[in-house]
Amino acid sequence: MTQPIANCPSEFCKSILVRTDVDLKKVGQVADLPPDSSPIQINTEGQYGSKAFVVVGRILYAYDQGGWNEWHVMMNDGTSAWLSDAQSEYALSLSSKVQNLPGIAQVHVGQQFNWSNQRYTVSVITPAHYRGVEGELPFQYWDKTDVTFVDLRTESGKFATLDYSDPEPALYLGEFVEFDDLKLKNLRSFEGW
């Protein structure tokens, strides 16, 4: 498994990188991100089922009740995934190829959808704002500001997000995970821990 560079060379520090297959492309620079209390950071390593992963990027979002992190992770098989870190609740999800997703105007809390033989119920619709990005992302980031996300849950702990940050909605399917089950290493330490 290829590991990100632990000590950032100056030409890549605070860079936004986009992965296209096996190539990385530097597409911009970012300002300092606002402080947050997540113990996860770039280069944190973990385990999801039988797959090892490393955190390679992050998007920080804000909404009217706070904020959360979406950590871009690369699995040891080359799969790209997202680890959502919101108020000590964690969910890991992967991009889905489901077609004909509903437009945002067609979705409401309590509505149900069936994907991958699971019945998902819309739990919350969240208008959010980008607060910052860092590291390696699987897409180009250009002047994104306000976005809407629809989170869905199943009775068995599965998780889904409809992402309306681009003209065509995207669906991510996954599940809620316990922090300790991720077996995270290289966490950020805080005063008093």
Per-residue three-class SS string for 46-63: EEECCEEEEEEEEEEEEE
Radius of gyration of the chain (CA): 17
CB atoms < 10 A from the CB of 170, how many?
A: 15
DSSP letters of 88-107? TEEEEEEE----SPPPGGG-
Give the pLDDT confidence score for residue 19 in this predicted structure: 54
Give the pLDDT confidence score for residue 132 in this predicted structure: 87
pLDDT digits 0-9 by tens, 55-98: 999 999 999 999 999 999 999 999 999 999 998 899 999 999 99
pLDDT digits 0-9 by tens, 121-132: 999 999 999 888
So where are the chain's domains? 15-180
